[in-house]
Amino acid sequence: MTPTIDSRPVLELKKVSKRFPTHTAVKEVSLEVAHGEFFSLLGPSGCGKTTTLRMIAGFEAPTEGEVWLNGARIDHLPPYRRNVNTVFQNYALFPHLTVRGNIEFGLRQKNETRQSEGDIAARVATVLDQVRMTGKESRMPPELSGGERQRVALARSLVLAPDVLLLDEPLSALDPQLRKQVRAELKDLQRRSGVTFLFVTHDQEEALAMSDRIAVMNAGAVEQTGPPQEIYQRPRTRFVASFLGAMNWIDGAGVRPECTRISYEPRLSRACAKGAVTEPRPSGRARDPRRGIVTRCVFLGSAVHVETRLESGESVIAQIPPTESFIEGDSVQIWWDANDELRFDA
């Protein structure tokens, strides 16, 4: 059953800043995260996203601003007094404890209400089922795969019933194929558990695939917040447009490779030898074709990126199906529809 996202914020950051002696890491960040939401902080290394997460967790104190959790201000509280938990990149499992021992460790340390052994066992069994680790309770961390270790780290945090689960690039240690698998499992787990996730990543694909909303950070500030589709299709700044996928910049306008069209120059014998001029120029608001030379073709499996150098000197990438082909040195025409242009104020 998919939980309903509550529009009331469980977490609020109000003009939070963090200054270090040599630089300002976070600049007046304001955010609201709703109950049951999968919210991602996305940005390049050094943009301030991990520092922001650490201020929420209590590992760093804000220089200015406020952090609120469930309507109460918490930025003055130590980490153990905040009902948030963090899953780190290295998972930090205890190597001498079993899967069960790792999961119930924090629960026993925090057993303020003196739960019975039966209550603890029931809560551990519930999260083991949620992370699909039932039957592996007695295994030791070295016996687990990378994906299984990540599930145990998640279970260890979920068993404490946090208001917000903070995830600091938890998939970065996994190989690409496993990352895609665990990514799907993580989103499914968040939906089934109903716990609010705050996910920190530099990986655009991860954020777009899993998030209900994304905050894109750059140089310590949030440049745009919104649902993945909105941020990708309607970026508000040039940085956001460029960071979320490849972008061609032509005459000051941004055009994504999948919206960029390419064909052989109709006057060339090589095109005629292939039997056609390939894709006809579209009608409507199509821009006038630009002449260019193919400089490189990059096979990506489901598509090919054809890199070209226009007569103006600009570099442009067109995305084509893998069934089509160009080679280095081909003379081509490039065009696009004006409706696909993204323009930004200087």
Per-residue pLDDT of the chain (346 residues; tens, 9 = 90+): 455 566 679 999 999 999 999 999 999 999 999 999 999 999 999 999 999 999 999 999 999 999 999 999 999 999 989 999 988 877 778 899 999 999 988 878 775 556 778 888 888 888 888 888 889 988 999 998 888 888 888 888 888 889 999 999 888 777 777 788 778 888 888 888 889 999 999 999 999 999 999 999 999 999 999 999 999 999 999 999 999 988 999 888 899 999 999 998 765 544 444 444 445 555 556 788 999 999 999 999 999 999 999 998 999 999 999 988 899 999 999 999 999 999 887 6
pLDDT at 281: 52
Which pTM was predicted? 0.84
Give the pLDDT of residue 180: 81
pLDDT at 12: 97
In angstroms, the CA 92 to CA 27 distance is: 30
Interatomic CA distance for residues 33 and 14, integer angstroms: 12
Structure tokens at 329: 């040195």
- Is 312 within 8 Å of 254 (Cβ atoms)? no
Distance, CA of 242 to CA of 5 (rounded, Å): 30
First and final CA of the chain: distance in angstroms? 46
Per-residue model confidence (pLDDT) at position 120: 84
Taking the CB of residue 147, how many other CB atoms lie within 10 A of it?
A: 15
Cα-only R_g, the chain: 25
Taking CA atoms, 301 is separated from 39, 182, 263, in Å, by 30, 21, 21
Domains of the chain: 6-243 (3.40.50.300), 248-340 (2.40.50.140)
